[in-house]
Amino acid sequence: MSSGAPNAVVRRAQRGDILLVTIDNPPVNALGADVRAGLLAAIEAADADPAVAAVLIAGSGRTFIGGADIREFGKPPLPPALPDVCNRIEACTKPVVAAIHGPALGGGLEVALAAHYRIALPAAKLGLPEVQLGLLPGAGGTQRTPRLVGAAAALEMMLSGRHLGAAEAHKLGLIDRLASEGDPIEAGLAYARELLAQGAPVRRTRDANALQDRAAQTAAIEAARLETAKKSRGLFSPLKIVEAVQGAVDLPFDEGLALERKLFLACLDSPQRAGLVHAFFAEREAAKSPETQSSQPRPIARIGVVGGGTMGAGIAVSCLDAGLPVTMIERDDEALARGRANVDKVYAGLVAKGRMTEDARAAVMARWNGSTAYDALADADLVIEAVFEDMDVKKAVFAQLDRVCKPGAVLATNTSYLDIDALAASIARPQDVIGLHFFSPANIMKLLEIVVPAEVAPDVVATAFALAKKLRKTPVRAGVCDGFIGNRILAVYRQAADAMMEDGASPYQIDKAVRDFGFPMGPYQMSDLAGGDIGWATRKRRAPTRDPRARYVQIADRLCERGWFGQKTGRGYYLYEGGARTGTPDPEVDAIVDAERERAGVTPRSFTDEEIMRRYMAAMINEGARVVAEKIALRPLDVDVTFVHGYGFPRYRGGPMKYADTVGLPQVLADIRAFAKEDPLFWQPAPLLVELVERGADFASLNQTK
């Protein structure tokens, strides 16, 4: 695209003496090469044309500009570069106005900041979310924002990545004018005319003076540096953001821009950027399934939840938060009162912290209904069963649902492991039965595994995805198997961890290695948090079908036999004295581990943290490959999204399958083959992994993402 001509994605229209420049690049007006060229050309044309007195930049559709085109990152750069485009906009000799009516994010806000005046409509959302992609604002954002709003506010925006509403942005000084609801272009034109009538000058953000009080700016930067070093452990770009803002305070504008460019390129090259961008696209791809493409969801206005325990209550809160009315079923009045209390306690906590008003709590609780009679679910559009994890108990619930629910109601089970095909086959309407696997606490955790049994109707699957969207969950489509995507893979890498524990690594060393890798907690802390009894029940259930040749580490059973289930019992792998939430290592556990090693005839050896992670990740990746090959996960990216959102996998590494690609599949396979020398049964390479290595391919090749 030559930079002299208008193009299809940047339209120009003369409105009196104002040149209206509209970006029309669906879906979000991202600043791809054509848009950049079009903007540059428009500004040059405006400068050269005596008939133009001012320029108005606007976005078509719902978005002003969603930022740089994320798909271009990691590819050879295409001119013109966005910083140059922004500088050219700022250098324009005629007033340039930006009319912001929707998201103006990242490079989108940077374009607006390069304009001389900004007007925003009520739906505007302004933010610099680059940090969430492992980047920093790289088109002048780190230099212009502090000059406009001061270092503290600029750092807060850039380090949190949060979106500011129009009113807040106005208060902060990020925009000059708030417009009321209406046509953004008309509002922008009126503002531009007003400016012209006043003889308003070209006003460049590079000359703005919010950084004058140097001592205050430096103090704000120091505070941010300390806070970031603590809070953003392991992350690359946040400290670079602080450094760039330091440059804004210390350096002349052009030198600050050069520093920003250098730091931006370092971020762009980092594996964290690749991991985070992968996660961004993966979660959007995962939210699509063959069924959402082919069918329309059924309407969902009323929700039923069977069971008011931890899961049932969490699910109810999640639905209530989304504005849906919920009817909860429990077996007797006492259990129902407990269920209601479990729900109410969440809101009471918010009120106590000042995050919710009493009135708002009352309004939410007014949407909650309870009953001990299933007939109360007669008009529910979707019912989620969250009772005890036992097939007979669940079948009994489903028999009741079959009896009372209206035709077409979606009947969902929140099982973590059980065979949903068998559950569906136990009633007369298997086409309406689906799995909705929430993660605890269900009102907080983002992941929702949508488990698709063989007989389910496609529009029921589409309805489950629509529900996930309403609940602001991150959905992943999973097939039926023991544990679906997440828990099935978890069971395998837990076995790898247990084997290392028996072979000589302490549970505390393993947890630390896993935390240092970027997980918020290690597998034994996680077990203590979830309750060791849950895994114990699963192991007992699986015992009859376990391969008798398979290694079975019994340490967890020894703890459970003592009633040490973790936090809730005051001890598990760790000690939780006086109700503490953070455990301390327990010498008695060390003694039990020693005794088990002896019983198993193992001579303990030492492990480096690196070896621990190699084994841990190899087990996760190998089982991930099986899950993909069996179509339990549609693509490797579905495994990645599951682990990032449900299992604390560090987002900046993209997910286990992305991580495997980063390490290189030949390396992962070589590790597995080396480990197989000790335990060939456990460390059998997944055929898909072998095949990909033989073809010289990677997991990304199976993702078909853009």
Of 18, 139, 195, 617, the one binding ligand 3H9 by CB under 6 A: 139
The backbone torsions φ and ψ at residue 436, rounded to the nearest 5 degrees and listed phi first, read -125, 100
Q: Give one word for 106, left, alpha or beta, with left for phi > 0 and alpha for psi -120 to 50.
A: left
Nearer of residues 205 and 509 to ligand 3H9, judged by Cβ:
205
Count CB neighbours of 659 within 10 A.
25
- Please choose, out of 130-138, 348-356, 419-427, 648-656, the segment that lies near ligand 3H9 by the rule CB under 6 A: 130-138
Rounded Cα gap, residues 402 and 412, in angstroms: 12
Peptide bond before residue 80 is cis, with ω within 30 degrees of 0:
yes
All residues at 6 or more sequence positions from 632 whose CB lies less than 8 Å from its CB, including other chains? 478, 479, 480, 481, 484, 485, 488
Question: What is the spatial distance between Cα 421 and Cα 435, in angstroms, rounded to a whole number?
Answer: 10
Closest CA to 440 of 356, 515, 361, 531: 531
Return the residues of window 63-82 that contact ligand 3H9 according to CB under 6 A. Answer: 63, 66-71, 82
Extract the tokens encoding 682: 């456990």
Among 25-33, 206-214, 298-306, 517-525, the segment contacting ligand 3H9 (CB under 6 A): 25-33
**CB contact set of 430 (below 8 Å; sequence gap of 6+):** 424, 453, 455, 456
Amino acid in position 126: L
d(CA 127, CA 157): 7
Tokens 């009471």 sit on residue: 348
Q: How many residues contact ligand 3H9, by CB under 6 A? A: 26
Is 134 in contact with 111 (CB distance < 8 Å)? no
Tell me, what amino acid is at 55? V
Give the nearest distance from C-beta 70 to ligand 3H9 in angstroms.
Answer: 4
**Contacting ligand 3H9 (CB under 6 A), which of 89, 96, 111, 135?**
135
* 179 sits near ligand 3H9 (criterion: CB under 6 A): no
CA separation for the pair 299, 381 (Å, rounded): 7
Nearest approach, Cβ of residue 704 and ligand 3H9 (Å):
12
Q: What is the dihedral of CA 307, 321, 344, 373, to 10 degrees?
A: -30
Q: How near is the Cβ of 370 to ligand 3H9 at its closest, in Å?
A: 34
> Shortest approach of ligand 3H9 to residue 162 CB, angstroms?
11
With CB under 6 A as the contact rule, the residue among 23, 28, 628, 660 that binds ligand 3H9 is 28
Q: Does 27 bind ligand 3H9 (CB under 6 A)?
A: yes
Can you read off the two tokens belonging to residue 110?
């940077």
Question: Taking the mean position of all CA atoms in its chain, how far away is CA 226?
Answer: 25
Interacting stretch for ligand 3H9, rule CB under 6 A, among 137-145, 178-186, 212-220, 632-640? 137-145
Nearer to ligand 3H9, 94 or 645 (CB): 645
Side-chain half-sphere CA neighbours of 567 within 13 A = 13
Residue 61 CB, nearest distance to ligand 3H9 (Å)? 10
Residue 200 C-beta: closest distance to ligand 3H9, Å: 28
Which of 103, 146, 507, 655 contacts ligand 3H9 by CB under 6 A? 103
Binding flag, residue 640, ligand 3H9 (CB under 6 A): no
Taking the complex as a whole, the smallest distance from the CB of residue 260 to ligand 3H9 amounts, in Å, to 9
Q: Which of 90, 110, 459, 638 binds ligand 3H9 (CB under 6 A)?
A: 110
Beta partners for 104?
Answer: 65, 126
* DSSP bridge partners of 575: 571, 584
Q: Which is nearer to ligand 3H9, 29 or 622 (CB)?
A: 29
Q: Among residue numbers 437 through 476, which ones bind ligand 3H9 (CB under 6 A)?
A: none
We find the least distance from the C-beta atom of residue 6 to ligand 3H9, in angstroms, to be 22
Q: Tell me how far apart the alpha carbons of residues 147 and 224 are, in angstroms, rounded to a whole number.
A: 17
Taking alpha carbons only, the member of 301, 398, 309, 314 closest to residue 349 is 314
Question: In the complex with ligand 3H9, which residue's Cβ is closer, 59 or 483?
Answer: 59
Please identify, using beta-carbon distances, which residue of 68 and 433 lies nearer to ligand 3H9: 68
Nearest CB to ligand 3H9, comparing residues 36 and 94: 36
Selected from 95, 129, 312, 656, the binder of ligand 3H9 by CB under 6 A is: 129
Of the candidate residues 9, 115, 133, 660, the single one contacting ligand 3H9 (CB under 6 A): 133
Burial 427-440 (b: 16+ CB within 10 A, else e): bebbbbbbbbbbbe
- Closer to ligand 3H9 by Cβ: residue 16 or 61: 61
Q: Would you say 328 or 641 has its CB closer to ligand 3H9?
A: 641
Residue labelled with tokens 């009493």: 358
Q: Any bridge partners for residue 59, and if so which? A: 23
User: CA-CA distance, 602 to 480, in Å (whole number)?
Assistant: 37
> How do beta strands 447-452 and 433-438 pair?
antiparallel
Nearer of residues 128 and 497 to ligand 3H9, judged by Cβ = 128
Give the residue, chosen from 59, 85, 104, 130, that forms a contact with ligand 3H9 under the rule CB under 6 A: 130
Structure tokens at 121: 């409509």
For ligand 3H9, the binding residues in 46-65 under the rule CB under 6 A are 63
Stretch that binds ligand 3H9, among 133-141, 312-320, 381-389, 637-645 (CB under 6 A): 133-141
- Told to check if 338 binds ligand 3H9 by CB under 6 A, we report no
Determine if 105 is a binding residue for ligand 3H9 (CB under 6 A).
yes
C-beta atoms surrounding 549 within 10 Å: 8
Position among 38, 59, 95, 107 found at the interface with ligand 3H9 (CB under 6 A): 107
| Of residues 67 and 314, the one with the C-beta less far from ligand 3H9 | 67
Cβ proximity to ligand 3H9: between 42 and 139 the closer is 139
User: Please, which of residues 232-291 interact with ligand 3H9 by CB under 6 A?
Assistant: 281, 284
Would you state the structure tokens that stand for residue 407, as one six-digit string?
């035709």
Which residues are known to be catalytic? 110, 130
Query: Are the beta carbons of 97 and 47 closer than 8 angstroms?
Result: no
Query: CB of 67: closest distance to ligand 3H9 in angstroms?
Result: 3
What's the CA gap between 279 and 625, in Å, rounded? 18
**SS3 category, 109:** helix
CB of 165 to ligand 3H9, least distance (A): 13
Q: Quick one: tokens of 565? A: 């289930």
Record the tokens describing residue 520, joined without a space: 């918020």
Instruction: Work out which of 59, 95, 138, 531 binds ligand 3H9, going by CB under 6 A.
Output: 138
Q: Give the pairing of strands 18-23 and 447-452.
A: unpaired
Strand ranges across the sheet with 10-15:
10-15, 18-23, 54-59, 96-100, 117-120, 177-178
Between 137 and 566, whose beta carbon lies closer to ligand 3H9? 137
Which residue of 10, 20, 21, 30 would you call a contact of ligand 3H9, by CB under 6 A?
A: 30
Q: What is the largest CA-CA distance in the chain?
A: 91
Cβ at position 107, least distance to ligand 3H9 in Å: 3
Q: Least CB distance from residue 29 to ligand 3H9, whole Å?
A: 9
Query: Site residues (CB under 6 A) for ligand 3H9?
Result: 27-28, 30, 63, 66-71, 82, 103, 105-107, 110, 129-130, 133, 135, 137-139, 141, 281, 284
